[in-house]
Amino acid sequence: DIQLTQSPSSLSPSVGDRVTITCRASRGIENYLAWYQKKPGKAPKVLIYPATTLQSGVPSRFSGSGSGTGFSLTISSLQPEDSATYYCQQLYNYPLTFGGGTKVEI
C-alpha cells in the first residue's frame, strides 16, 4: 500500500498568512494526487486534482505543486473561511490512501 505522510499535523496562522502543507508518498504516484478541504459536519470538498489543477469554483489563492513522491498545497493569503482540516489522497492505485490531515486553525 502507498503511504501518504502529511505535515504539519496542525498550524495556527493568521489571516493573510501564506500557508504550505506538504504530502509525501512512500513511492511514486505521478500526479495522481488530490487535495481536499474538510469542515466539521460537511463532506470533503476537492480543491485540486490532479496535483496542480485547481478545481472549478475554488479560489485562486489555493495552488498545488509536485509530482512523483513530493507534493504541496499552498494557500497564498489565508482567509477566515479557510479554517478546516486539509487532506491529500493518492488515486494512483488501490487502496486509495489518505494523508493524516492538517488542521488549520485561524
Closer CB to another protein, 30 or 77, in the complex:
30
Dihedral over Cα of 87, 21, 48, 95: its sign: negative
35 with 90: CB under 8 angstroms?
no
Rounded to a whole number of angstroms, the minimum distance from the CB of residue 51 to another protein is 11
Other Cβ atoms less than 10 A from the Cβ of 58: the count is 16
Query: Using the rule CB under 8 A, is 92 a contact of another protein?
Result: no
Query: Using the rule CB under 8 A, is 43 a contact of another protein?
Result: yes
Q: Which stretch binds another protein (CB under 8 A): 23-31, 42-50, 59-67, 68-76?
A: 42-50
Cis (ω within 30 of 0) for the bond into 95?
yes
Using CB under 8 A, list all residues that contact another protein.
34, 36, 38, 43-46, 49-50, 85, 87, 89, 91, 94-101
